[in-house]
Amino acid sequence: MAEKTYIEAIREGIREEMQRDGRVMILGEDVGAKGGVFGVTEGLQQEFGEDRVLDSPLAESLIVGVAIGAAMNGLRPIAEIQFQDFIMPAMDQIVSEAAKMRYRSNGDWGVPMVLRSPFGGGVHGALYHSQSIEAIFAHIPGLRVVVPSTPYDAKGMIVAALRDPDPVLYFEHKRCYRAIKGDVPEGDYTVPLDRARVAREGSDIAVFSYGMMVHTSLEAAERLAADGFSCEVTDLRSLRPIDRAAIVASARKCGKVLVVQEANLAVSVAAEVAAIIAEECFDYLDAPVMRIGGPEIPAMPYSPPLEDFYLVTPNKVEAKLRELAAY
Amino acid sequence: MAMTKTETKGRAGLDAETLRLMYRHMLRSRLTDERLWVLNRQGRAPFWISAEGHEAVQVAFGMNLRPAHDWVAPYYRDLALTLVLGMTPKDHILSGLQRADDPNSGGRQMPAHYGCRRLNIISTGSSVGTQLIHATGIALASQMRGEDAVTFTSIGEGGTSEGDFHEALNFAATKKLAVIFLVENNGFAISVPWQKQMATQDVADRAKGYGMPGVVVDGSDAIACYAVAREAVKRARRGDGPTLVEAKVLRLTSHSSDDDQRRYRNRDELEADKERDSLLRFKATLEELGVLHPGDAEEMRAELVLELDRATDEAEAAPMPSPDSAMLHVYAEEGDWRG
């Protein structure tokens, strides 16, 4: 088993599935000769040709709508939206069409497509290259929304997404691409699209997170361990459907809960996790459920002091964990 | 790439049998439409949205497509098209009456949101314009596999203001896809006349800007429509790329059963439209050509009304969906289509 970066793991999953399944194709802006602005699709057009790795016009509604049509006519398309921030023109195609096709046709039609898009900040991306707007999609029945945080999951989940009969939104935190490395098995394996993963076992505080924030949470948990506090960190992996059983089990076990995300908190994934715990773990709690996330401002600003103000860091998570530990 | 205004003198080489069939298709759609209006006004079908006045061009395309081989991404006025392709009046009455057996959606969608798996008619929602892009994706898949399937998609002139119209036409021309874009221009986006929607007389003018042919046809002239449809389908089938066809049609009814067009349209104009009805015109033409004989049309009508009576009875006897079935098909169920 070789150690690979997160971005290499995504690419390997796509490449191997394209070798196995001639129906898989990619379309998006700059995915061809350039290999995508981050390099996820690097080398794929050379290997699979211009039909299967298709440089699309600069038109997000088109990218998603073409993927929908192609999926209904037998292909397994991957639609790449260059940054999650630019997904808005495709909202109608995602929410009104992809999410509802199976339901509105009473099961006669479906949209087996994958939409990939990078999200998240801390890369000097300013307002329009840093957003974390996954909650908008996690609200929509008919979609699957997944966010792998490790190279192992990144490969296993992209393969699983390509074999799923329904639309899967696969969001990649752009700081994971090269910063996160891990063991990735050779060859074919899948990771379920609807199961959370315990990233670190513990017993005092249950921490729930996803994407890059899993690594931020793990770092903070390690610091608390030095002082004898044991944190259990759960990587949600799937935001819709959300793994209710895993959330309830860890919250009941620990009795104290912190939810960590990069997105702002109002009406967010953290809000849903807190609501599930309120409904199902009331008698088990030793402290109020706490949440940490971005501030309620429109997006992440550019200048370093402003960007730092926005970001959820190991220091901020550590402070919150200590507050909970002392409660 | 020049835009052409098509006029057809005579019968475009069509034999008597084809012409009679065209008329029968148009009449069958009109009678189905009228039946759904009646069910609506009786309070049995809460909603209806009509194809009356659009039938000729839909029948022309329907007869030139290969059902279940070609692909169709329709819009809500395409009743006649779906009937030509093989759906039945009963299918649409089941939908009007919100029954579980409605093949379009199992009673989940409003009527006229067409879809039929076995005929490659993709399910349509209510967002205007999205289907044009789906058509290009479908055609892209056909092209990648080297198939000769043609993808037909349609929209009203109102929908051509949507961004998806631009994105779809640009992509179809760039990739030389086998797509036919039909704009059924009835002059009104619900209540807003075309002059307030666009600065050009013809939507088809825009074709030049995308690099595809644009054709304007009198959508109430069934024979002219047939000639245009035949050419557009041939062109797509032989791999020469997309065509934008604009049919100038009449909207003989209000936008929907919840609208009253007398509030925003001139009454004289509405009366005049009735005189220009494609069914009347086509019947007169066929009688002139000696294709229809006195009594033929009435005989056809009687036979079709019988079909509709039976369809209505059967649809009314069909069960409603069970309440808990609302939870099904959010994600793929056992037996669902999985790609």
3-class DSSP state of A219: helix
Average pLDDT over residues A201-227: 98
Contacts of B304 (CB under 8 A, 6+ apart): B24, B27, B28, B31
The pLDDT > 90 percentage for chain B reads: 96
Distances (CA, A) of A42 to A9, A11, A36, B18: 12, 8, 7, 55
**Cβ distance of B137 and A89 shorter than 8 Å:** no
Helical pair B55-64 and B16-41, crossing angle rounded to 10 deg: 130
- pTM assigned to the model: 0.97
Residue in the structure block whose two tokens are 């949440």 = A291
Query: How crowded is residue B200: how many other Cβ atoms within 10 Å of its Cβ?
Result: 9
| B201 pLDDT tier (thresholds 50, 70, 90) | very high
**Cβ distance of A92 and B127 shorter than 8 Å:** yes
CB-based burial, B310-332: b 16+ in 10 Å, e otherwise: ebbeebeebeebeeeeeebbbbb
Starting at the edge strand found earlier in the chain, the sheet holding A144-146 runs: A53-55, A24-28, A76-80, A114-119, A168-173, A144-146, A238-240
Summary mean pLDDT of chain A: 98
- Which pLDDT tens digit goes with each residue over A147-178? 999 999 999 999 999 999 999 999 999 999 99
Of B73, B113, B136, the CB nearest to A66: B136
- Which pLDDT tens digit goes with each residue over B264-290? 999 999 999 999 999 999 999 999 999
- pLDDT given at position B4: 52
E-only strand ranges, B194-301: 214-218, 243-248
Q: Measured between alpha carbons, how far is A125 from B101 in angstroms, rounded to an integer?
A: 52
Residue B13, min C-alpha distance to chain A (Å): 35
Residue A177, min C-alpha distance to chain B (Å): 30
* Contacts across the A-B interface (CB distance below 8 Å): 154
- pLDDT given at position B10: 79
- pLDDT of residue B86 exceeding 80: yes
The pLDDT > 90 percentage for chain A reads: 100
Residues B338 and A112: beta-carbon distance below 8 Å: yes
Average pLDDT over residues B177-189: 98
Residue type, B214: G
Q: Measured between alpha carbons, how far is A119 from B102 in angstroms, rounded to an integer?
A: 41
- pLDDT given at position B9: 59
Q: Measured between alpha carbons, how far is B184 from B153 in angstroms, rounded to an integer?
A: 11
Compare all CA atoms of chain A with the CA of B126 and give the residue at the minimum distance: A96
Average pLDDT over residues A30-47: 98
- pLDDT of residue B2 exceeding 50: no
Of B105, B116, B332, the CB nearest to A166: B332
- Which pLDDT tens digit goes with each residue over B186-195? 999 999 999 9
- pLDDT given at position B35: 98
**Cβ distance of A102 and B127 shorter than 8 Å:** no
Given B264, B265, B281, B301, which residue is catalytic?
A: B264
| B5 pLDDT tier (thresholds 50, 70, 90) | low
Kindly tell me the sign of the dihedral angle through the C-alpha atoms of B197, B201, B206, B207: positive
Average pLDDT over residues B17-36: 98
Phi, psi (rounded to 5 degrees) for B335: 90, -15
| B6 pLDDT tier (thresholds 50, 70, 90) | low
Residues of A carrying an active site annotation: 129
For an interface test with A, give the residue of B71, B87, B113, B123 to mutate (most A CBs within 10 A): B123
Residue A32, min C-alpha distance to chain B (Å): 16
- Which pLDDT tens digit goes with each residue over A186-195? 999 999 999 9
Average pLDDT over residues B152-173: 98
Query: Counting beta carbons within 10 angstroms of the beta carbon of residue B114, is it exposed (0 to 12), middle (13 to 18) or buried (19 or more)?
Result: buried
**Cβ distance of A110 and B123 shorter than 8 Å:** no
In DSSP terms, which residues pair with A181 in a beta bridge?
A: A5
Cis amide linkage into residue A165, ω under 30° from 0: no
Q: What was the ipTM of the complex prediction?
A: 0.97
**Cβ distance of A57 and B167 shorter than 8 Å:** yes
- Respond yes or no: is residue B255 known to be catalytic: yes
Q: Measured between alpha carbons, how far is A69 from A67 in angstroms, rounded to an integer?
A: 6
Residue type, A143: L
- pLDDT of residue A239 exceeding 50: yes
Average pLDDT over residues B91-113: 98
Angle at A21 between CA A18 and CA A22, to 5 degrees: 85
Q: At A65, which helix (H) or strand (E)?
A: helix A60-72
Average pLDDT over residues A201-229: 98
Of B115, B125, B335, the CB nearest to A97: B125
Residues A115 and A101: beta-carbon distance below 8 Å: no
- Which pLDDT tens digit goes with each residue over A116-145? 999 999 999 999 999 999 999 999 999 999
- pLDDT given at position B1: 43
Query: Counting beta carbons within 10 angstroms of the beta carbon of residue B2, is it exposed (0 to 12), middle (13 to 18) or buried (19 or more)?
Result: exposed
Distances (CA, A) of B85 to A42, A107, B74, B119, B137: 44, 21, 12, 7, 21
